[in-house]
Structure 1
């Protein structure tokens, strides 16, 4: 009874109802909520605290930012069902439209950064950790067997295509930045990789049908994603039964300057975060590697889709 009373008290406010509706679309920072709602961050933080105390929401601190997501499903599901059944008004629809605008502005800023810094991309990566070490670990995790159909999501300068295409039957690299793809085409062309293809596309809308890939790679891409969980779901969608998703990214860190200087949206990821997203995408965590050294720690997460591979992958 107390839990029910806490929930009803927490929801007995228009702003908090709007916050819950927004969180139903995605995890958001307190700053994003404040911008969409047109309220100060301290005021929004107070509302968030009430929702968290009632178990409807949960907070996660990341550097100086605080991200908010919906709470445990057993408490939240009835609330979201009620909001869907009731007419919550035009205000919530307006909030969602404003959120889309905020996200679009940030995505445009990130795209502009990539276009400007494309030529420095490999150098920027080398500042964080030795790429040779990361690449060797990735090769080890994927093993000696042929990769089959590969998609490199956010291919950047095409290094992952260069590295793994020789072991693949077909390799597709996608990137949203035309300048990045220009650099990738130069690299792939120099290697004469006839089985490689490069396309301009969004990581949230991959240009492949369901079960069209055997291996997907997200190499130092996820920390730029506005919606990392959605990116993982989309990558899992294109994987065949038994297919594998390999993520290389940073462990949690507090290097705040990377947000402004290098357009990082997230300051690394914990094992629990990645495993939660794997589960939501229908993947099971097959392997985790930690690569210490340099200014930041790199993590490798391998997720695998259930089932027997539909596409035969023979050993090299």
Structure 2
């Protein structure tokens, strides 16, 4: 447990107060913090380390980037409440200037995301042209999940964060996981204003989440990239608590061999029997399957559920 003295020592510096105010609004890389603060990266890194040692901040390495986020709510919430009370709603001139520069950082992220999509539009369009419109896939997923609120949502292989964008608002906590730091930067550009959303870089075979912590996990057009889809499903099932659900959207078996070379597809679709067998091995019951035809590739939805009462029902009892 962090000592109160360490917390107050960490806060006894204007730059560290400014950093705390910034990461309250969105996760930022050390480079972005340096850009907003107008200071060198080594100097900002030293300030960040002091905040981390005090439990007020956390850092995650994604490729060559290091992102800074708020620390545990147990430590940060009382500090934020105190700062808000002492400030009585007034916006410090330094904070106001920082927020203006933060808006520029957000704009830079959005511009980079748009440029990336423009450069890769042909690749995305080539795949999408082979199957039913993605809007219809998303509508079918929403119908399958229903409108009930979700406790903890985990989007595995989140990519640009589309599933978090669609379903994150109904969750108390939404976690997006991807191995690609580039994809996570794109997701951050899209989801920077979602207070309940967290993005983490990790492998789908080793999720950075404890067992039985999630209510819903999603694998949206991810499984065909997995060399060991059975292990990916087993790992997704591990993080689900009683009553937790796993929704998979992927392709039915097909013969488009060129997708292996052109788009790095490890598997050319999955049968209902395969997925049902993997669900059973992972301790999940197959509850619903849907087929979405309308192109050269058929999209399938599979929903599995861990037996037992849902996590939110258990916590409420």
Please state whether the residue corresponding to 1:215 is helix, strand or coil: strand
**How big is the shift at 1:122?**
4.8
Question: Does 2:128 match 1:126?
Answer: yes
Give matches, 1:293-312, under 5 Å: 293-312=294-313
**Structure-2 separation of matches of 1:240 and 1:306:** 9
Which residue does the alignment assign to 1:32? none
User: Structure 2 vs 1, CA of residues 118 and 173 (structure 1 numbering), >3 Å: closer, same or farther?
Assistant: farther
User: Structure 2 vs 1, CA of residues 181 and 193 (structure 1 numbering), >3 Å: closer, same or farther?
Assistant: same
Match for residue 164 of structure 2 among 137, 157, 161:
161
| TM-score, normalising length: structure 2 | 0.60
**How big is the shift at 1:310?**
2.6
Which residue does the alignment assign to 1:287? 288
User: Structure 2 vs 1, CA of residues 125 and 213 (structure 1 numbering), >3 Å: closer, same or farther?
Assistant: farther
Which residue does the alignment assign to 2:151? 148
**Structure-1 separation of matches of 2:170 and 2:299:** 24
Question: Does 2:215 match 1:214?
Answer: yes
Give matches, 1:44-55, under 5 Å: none
Question: Does 2:135 match 1:137?
Answer: no
Contact 2:218/2:246 (CA < 8 Å) preserved in 1? yes
User: Structure 2 vs 1, CA of residues 123 and 198 (structure 1 numbering), >3 Å: closer, same or farther?
Assistant: farther
**How big is the shift at 1:188?**
1.0
**Structure-2 separation of matches of 1:164 and 1:310:** 18
**Structure-1 separation of matches of 2:239 and 2:164:** 18
Give matches, 1:195-206, under 5 Å: 195-206=196-207
Could you give the per-residue CA deviations for residues 184-214 of structure 1, whole angstroms, max 9, x where no partner exists? 111112xx21111111010000010011100
| Stretches of structure 1 lacking an aligned partner (at least 5 in a row) | 1-114
Contact 1:174/1:198 (CA < 8 Å) preserved in 2? yes
Could you give the per-residue CA deviations for residues 54-91 of structure 1, whole angstroms, max 9, x where no partner exists? xxxxxxxxxxxxxxxxxxxxxxxxxxxxxxxxxxxxxx
Question: Does 2:175 match 1:172?
Answer: yes
**How big is the shift at 1:148?**
1.6
Contact 2:244/2:311 (CA < 8 Å) preserved in 1? no
Contact 2:220/2:248 (CA < 8 Å) preserved in 1? yes
Question: Does 2:210 match 1:183?
Answer: no
Instruction: Report the aligned-residue RMSD.
Output: 2.1
Contact 1:145/1:313 (CA < 8 Å) preserved in 2? no
User: Structure 2 vs 1, CA of residues 182 and 217 (structure 1 numbering), >3 Å: closer, same or farther?
Assistant: same
Could you give the per-residue CA deviations for residues 88-119 of structure 1, whole angstroms, max 9, x where no partner exists? xxxxxxxxxxxxxxxxxxxxxxxxxxx99994
| TM-score, normalising length: structure 1 | 0.60
**Structure-2 separation of matches of 1:203 and 1:123:** 25
Question: Does 2:199 match 1:193?
Answer: no
**Structure-2 separation of matches of 1:291 and 1:116:** 26
| Stretches of structure 2 lacking an aligned partner (at least 5 in a row) | 1-115
Which residue does the alignment assign to 2:256? 255
**Structure-1 separation of matches of 2:304 and 2:119:** 29
Please state whether the residue corresponding to 2:309 is helix, strand or coil: coil
Please state whether the residue corresponding to 1:128 is helix, strand or coil: coil
**How big is the shift at 1:147?**
1.7
User: Structure 2 vs 1, CA of residues 243 and 116 (structure 1 numbering), >3 Å: closer, same or farther?
Assistant: same
User: Structure 2 vs 1, CA of residues 149 and 119 (structure 1 numbering), >3 Å: closer, same or farther?
Assistant: farther
**Structure-2 separation of matches of 1:257 and 1:278:** 29
**Structure-1 separation of matches of 2:117 and 2:138:** 26
User: Structure 2 vs 1, CA of residues 118 and 144 (structure 1 numbering), >3 Å: closer, same or farther?
Assistant: farther
Contact 1:118/1:179 (CA < 8 Å) preserved in 2? no
**Structure-1 separation of matches of 2:227 and 2:278:** 14
User: Structure 2 vs 1, CA of residues 219 and 243 (structure 1 numbering), >3 Å: closer, same or farther?
Assistant: same
